[in-house]
């Protein structure tokens, strides 16, 4: 493998946030890899991550911070724990579609409202089926670069207060400014905007979610074992986890959330908008690239998807070999005709400008 | 936290194997944390881990190497995927008991043969219920220091060839010399004898296991979603995983398995026996400690459990503060009256001798 360091603009696993490696080194110095997950040292690590995430996401006290192996796992756990019969899914790309399919695989009656690839949702067009217990939204579709704005998600919940609402914020946390006093649950994985190596899912869930899981159990439903919501929640009360978790990753997550808080989440959001604008402005003027998502209010700020005139594999290879910058191919069928550019905190405005100049020079 | 490095004799998370940190550093240099889990680079990492584990455990070609978030997760996945109605559990401690309880929580009819804490199993006393589809053995009980010998497990399988047999080898892999042409599945987690930070479960499963899972699906049973056996297996055919996995940990696992193969598994097993003998010999002669597991053939070689005359918390604290060596308290109710000493490859014979001398000097 090349010794020259690459700069990743990939939507996950993404480029590492600049402080990540030093946090890992510190963890090794402190022998975090060998501490007991039933020790006071571990409980302090969990508590620190909890505190920093609560600040970053403005979590109310009713909402807990739980850990799983991945965000994919959270899809499964949410359906098992909070859907007795019927779920409802806003499908605006391939990942929200998988979330919907998980519900079917778990033998629930899964409703969906599906948009063509590249189109998104506004609250006013959303009609939730009467018996749906859970509404599943994806605020940022990593596959298509479509976003559903926080304010639209909030409107859906306000119009359906009797139902639980969960938000897949995998590739937009902490950019999306969700109101956690309103929505019931959200989740992400650390290898996206937090710029960490993969292997940890972060799941915010409120007491209403836990109550629902307990009710399903009382009705003789199966909610899983060690990662049922009540098992995760009961352990969380003492800052523990049911199993031996990815301790190193929880430690580093707390440190990164702390780094983000030092920068300030509003600064991160403003910088994300500024970098996104630069990328979309570039594409608008380019004769080689074209913005994929037509409706401006549905365009993602964190995953920018562009149609390419050239074959996109060629674009990606040339960019990487000439500049060391790595962007991602389109998703699924659009692999050869699109590129996806992640706009996460690991890259700053100057680096985005450099990427734009490099893309211009390719042709 | 103290800057002075401690030496961990804890049964998990355990002390890190001496090469672990340098493998992590190499992973950071190669930017493994940012590579796509759908790339050729990742597939090579998975393939390397697969190859090295196949050598280390002498896996036949019918057996696959699958990855989960933890060994605890494997308990759940095994029950969901290979038990339609009835499972049977040999319970020789607290962890095998949890495995048994997982089956109940998943609404299976779970049979068990339970031994008093500190006692183990021989094949001749095991009678498997007629309709049990799966036999669950725990070759090494981390809670009680009881082992079930490989040859006894093999005999149980030979007497029940129509049933699937899985082995929890969490705290004894790669010490336990299982015959994988005979048994159907086994699993462990990397924070035990492999001396790695936690966050990865390793699951060996053969085609009979996968077939069973598919049959349950055909019968309209629920086998989970992304981590169903067929989903894991299908992805494994191309050295991929269903979700973004703990890539860094899979990379390091391949390197550690390679390190183990360079030492040679038979050397590791002999050294483990030699260190275990030293520890048990010491306890036998001591007037402060006493071997907990009376039956010699049921005594674990990898987790040595000793009754203490003194309060064990005091023993642990004094040992750590005076020498920097860390042993573990007893499990559950025996927390205050026992110590548990992990005998993993992270510590060599000289270090075990030093531990013994230090324990002698405490009184």
Interface residue of B23, B197, B203 to substitute, partner A, most A CBs within 10 Å: B197
Reduced to 3 states, what is the DSSP secondary structure of residue A167?
strand
Q: Sort strands B164-168 and B325-326 into parallel, antiparallel or unpaired.
A: unpaired
Q: Tell whether the model's pLDDT for residue A288 goes beyond 80.
A: yes
What is the per-residue pLDDT for B4?
A: 76
Q: Please provide the DSSP assignment of A102-117 as one string.
A: HHHHTT-EEEEEE--T
β pairing state of B140-141 and B146-147: antiparallel
Matching residue, tokens 């998104």: A120
User: Could you tell me how many residues make up chain B?
Assistant: 363
- The pLDDT of residue A4 is 76
Contact at 8 Å (CB) between A169 and A176?
A: yes
CA dist B90 → A101, B74, B112, B137, B206 (Å): 36, 17, 6, 5, 21
Q: Looking at CA atoms only, how far is residue A243 from chain B in angstroms?
A: 6
Name the residue among A73, A225, A242 with its Cβ closest to that of B106. A225
Cα A209 from Cα B90, distance rounded (Å) = 35
Look at residue B363 in the predicted model and tell me its pLDDT.
81
Q: Which residue of A has its CA nearest to B331?
A: A38
> A105, B222: Cβ pair inside 8 Å?
yes
Taking residues A39-54, report their average pLDDT: 98
Task: Work out the minimum CA distance from A29 to partner chain B, whole angstroms.
Answer: 7
Convert the pLDDT of each residue in A308-322 to its tens digit.
999 999 999 999 999
pLDDT at residue A12 is higher than 90: no
In this structure, are residues A244 and B191 in contact, taking their beta carbons and an 8 Å threshold? yes
Q: Quick one: average pLDDT of A260-282?
A: 98
In this prediction, residue B137 carries a pLDDT of 98
Q: What is the DSSP letter of A37?
A: T
Model pLDDT, residue A3? 53
User: Mean pLDDT over all residues of chain A?
Assistant: 97
Threshold 0.90, pTM exceeds:
yes
* B289 neighbors B307 (Cβ within 8 angstroms): yes
Q: CA-nearest residue of chain B to A68?
A: B69
pLDDT in tens, A206-253: 999 999 999 999 999 999 999 999 999 999 999 999 999 999 999 999
Q: Which residues, in sequence order, are CB contacts of A292 under 8 Å at separation 6+? A: A118, A144, A145, A305, A306, A307, A338
Q: Which residues pair with A305 in a beta bridge?
A: A340
DSSP state of B46: H
As a whole number of angstroms, the distance between CA B83 and CA B89 comes to 12
Those residues whose C-beta lies under 8 Å from the C-beta of residue A155, and which sit 6 or more positions away, are A123, A124
Chain A: nearest CA to B125, how far in angstroms?
Answer: 30
Backbone angles phi, psi at B134, to 5 degrees: -135, 135
Phi, psi (rounded to 5 degrees) for B206: -95, 180
| Cβ atoms B165, B135 nearer than 8 A | yes
Rounded CA gap, B59 and B252, in Å?
20
Q: Does the interface predicted TM-score (ipTM) exceed 0.95?
A: yes
Task: Work out the percent of chain A whose per-residue pLDDT is above 90.
Answer: 98
* CB atoms inside a 10 Å sphere around CB A244: 25
Say yes or no for a CB contact (<8 Å) between B226 and A5: no
Q: How far is the C-alpha of A158 from the C-alpha of A232, rounded, in Å?
A: 28
- Beta carbons of A247 and B13 less than 8 Å apart: yes
- The residue assigned the tokens 């909402």 is A63
Report CA torsion sign: A333, A339, A345, A347: positive
Task: Tell me the mean pLDDT in the region A192-205.
Answer: 98
Q: Is B171 on the interface with A (CB under 8 A)?
A: no
For residue B161, the Cα-to-chain-centroid distance in whole angstroms is 24
The pair of structure tokens assigned to B19 is 């090469």
pLDDT at A2 over 50: no
> Could you say which DSSP state residue A193 is in?
T
Q: Give the closest-approach CA distance of B181 to chain A in angstroms.
A: 30
Residue with token string 């030492």: B263
Closest CA of chain B from A159, distance in Å = 31
What's the token pair of residue A287?
A: 């004769």
Place of tokens 């399903």: A216
In total, chain A counts a number of residues equal to: 363
Low-confidence stretches of chain B (pLDDT < 50) are 1-2
A77, pLDDT greater than 70? yes
Report the DSSP beta bridge partners of residue B196.
Answer: none
Nearest to B302 by CA among B192, B184, B158: B192
Cis-peptide, bond into residue B116, ω within 30° of zero: no
Residues of A in contact with B202 (CB under 8 A): none
- Cα–Cα dist A95/A138, whole Å: 8
Q: Is A202 on the interface with B (CB under 8 A)?
A: no
The CA-based dihedral angle spanning residues A177, A181, A186, A189, taken in that order and rounded to the nearest 10 degrees: 60
Cα–Cα distance measured from residue A308 to residue A319, given in angstroms and rounded to the nearest whole number:
13
Classify burial at A179, counting beta carbons within 10 Å of its beta carbon; exposed 0-12, middle 13-18, buried 19 or more.
middle
Q: In the predicted model, what is the mean pLDDT of residues A100-126?
A: 98
Say yes or no for a CB contact (<8 Å) between A20 and B33.
yes
């Amino acid at each position: 493998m090349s010794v020259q360091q690459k700069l990743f603009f990939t939507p996950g696993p993404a480029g590492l946030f600049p402080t990540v490696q030093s946090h890992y080194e510190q963890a090794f110095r402190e022998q975090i890899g060998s501490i007991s997950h039933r020790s006071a040292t571990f409980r302090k690590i969990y508590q620190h991550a909890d505190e920093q995430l609560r600040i970053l996401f403005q979590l109310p006290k009713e909402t807990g911070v739980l850990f799983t192996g991945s965000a994919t796992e959270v899809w499964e756990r949410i359906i098992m724990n909070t859907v007795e019969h019927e779920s409802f899914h806003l499908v605006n790309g391939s990942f929200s579609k998988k979330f919907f399919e998980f519900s079917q695989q778990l033998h629930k009656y899964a409703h969906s409202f599906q948009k063509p690839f590249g189109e998104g949702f506004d609250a006013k067009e959303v009609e939730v089926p009467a018996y749906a217990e859970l509404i599943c939204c994806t605020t940022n579709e990593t596959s298509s670069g479509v976003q559903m704005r926080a304010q639209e998600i909030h409107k859906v919940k306000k119009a359906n207060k009797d139902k639980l609402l969960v938000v897949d914020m995998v590739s937009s946390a902490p950019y999306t400014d969700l109101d956690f006093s309103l929505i019931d649950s959200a989740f992400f994985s650390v290898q996206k905007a937090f710029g960490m190596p993969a292997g940890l899912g972060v799941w915010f869930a409120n007491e209403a979610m836990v109550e629902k899981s307990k009710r399903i159990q009382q009705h003789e439903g199966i909610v899983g074992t060690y990662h049922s919501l009540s098992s995760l929640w009961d352990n969380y009360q003492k800052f523990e986890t049911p199993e031996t978790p990815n301790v190193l990753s929880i430690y580093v997550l707390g440190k990164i959330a702390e780094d983000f808080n030092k920068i300030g989440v509003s600064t991160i959001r403003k910088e994300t908008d500024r970098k996104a604008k630069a990328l979309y402005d570039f594409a608008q003027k380019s004769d080689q690239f074209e913005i994929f998502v037509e409706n401006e209010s549905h365009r993602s700020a964190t995953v920018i998807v562009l149609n390419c005139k050239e074959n996109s594999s060629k674009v990606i290879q040339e960019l990487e070999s000439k500049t060391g910058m790595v962007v991602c191919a389109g998703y699924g069928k659009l692999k050869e005709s699109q590129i996806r550019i992640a706009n996460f905190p690991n890259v700053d405005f100057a680096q985005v400008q450099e990427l734009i100049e490099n893309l211009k020079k390719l042709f």
